[in-house]
Structure 1
Amino acid sequence: METTQPSGTTKRRVELRITRPTLTWFARPTVTIDGVGHPAQWGTGTWAVPDEGGTRIGVYLYNRVWRFGTATRTVTAADVSLVYRSGPLPVGAGRLDAA
């Protein structure tokens, strides 16, 4: 297991806007940063990422039955703001695009 880094080692933040689909069936979003999941909320938030490029950010939606709307993207130094959109129905993949 990796040791945790002291506070203040991550200086770069990425803004992520998670839009709510029309039909969610009580789904909640989760953001993954380099494979580690973090619960999220609908709307705009900022996420800390390492200063080096190549961080993998993903978003998926889940409810008590299944997981859907998965989208991933490798964040570079130029990416400052991202927008996540899932499909209109609670099936299939989502999109994670630069704002």
Structure 2
Amino acid sequence: MAHSERLELTLRKPWFGAILKPTVVFNGRGQPAQWGTGTWQVSAEAPTEVSVYLYNRLWKFGHAELLLAPGAPEPLAYSAPWLPVGRGRLVPVSH
């Protein structure tokens, strides 16, 4: 990655979050994650696909994805579905 920017991503812990950990994926490459706010490097020159999902050893759920344009990315927030099935939500947030 020649030039990079820092992306702030907040992973909002659902009520069932004590038994699950989120997985964050950038351009197809999984990254370790924990609930809360963290930062990751993303390209400043090329689009970056960001996705988040939850996995409980039996099934994958809560998937959400977003394609970031090159340049300074806005902070993002991930919200898991209310029940441990279905899709999550990944949206830009303003500070």
Pairwise TM-score range, normalised by the shorter structure? 0.7 to 0.9
Q: Which portions of structure 1, spanning 4 or more consecutive aligned residues, are displaced by more than 6 angstroms?
A: none
TM-score by length of 2: 0.87
Task: Say which is worse superposed, 10-19 or 40-49, in terms of deviation.
Answer: 10-19
Aligned pair count?
92
Identity between Structure 1 and Structure 2 (%)? 45
Q: Give the corresponding residue for 2:44.
A: 51
Runs of 5+ consecutive residues of structure 2 not aligned to the other structure: none
Runs of 5+ consecutive residues of structure 1 not aligned to the other structure: none
Distance 2:19 2:4 in 1: 34
Q: Which has the larger radius of gyration?
A: 1
Q: Give 2:58's aligned amino acid.
A: V
Q: Give the corresponding residue for 2:74.
A: 80
Q: Give the corresponding residue for 2:85.
A: 91
Aligned pair partner of 1:33 in 22, 26, 39: 26
TM-score by length of 1: 0.84
Secondary structure of the 2:23 match is strand
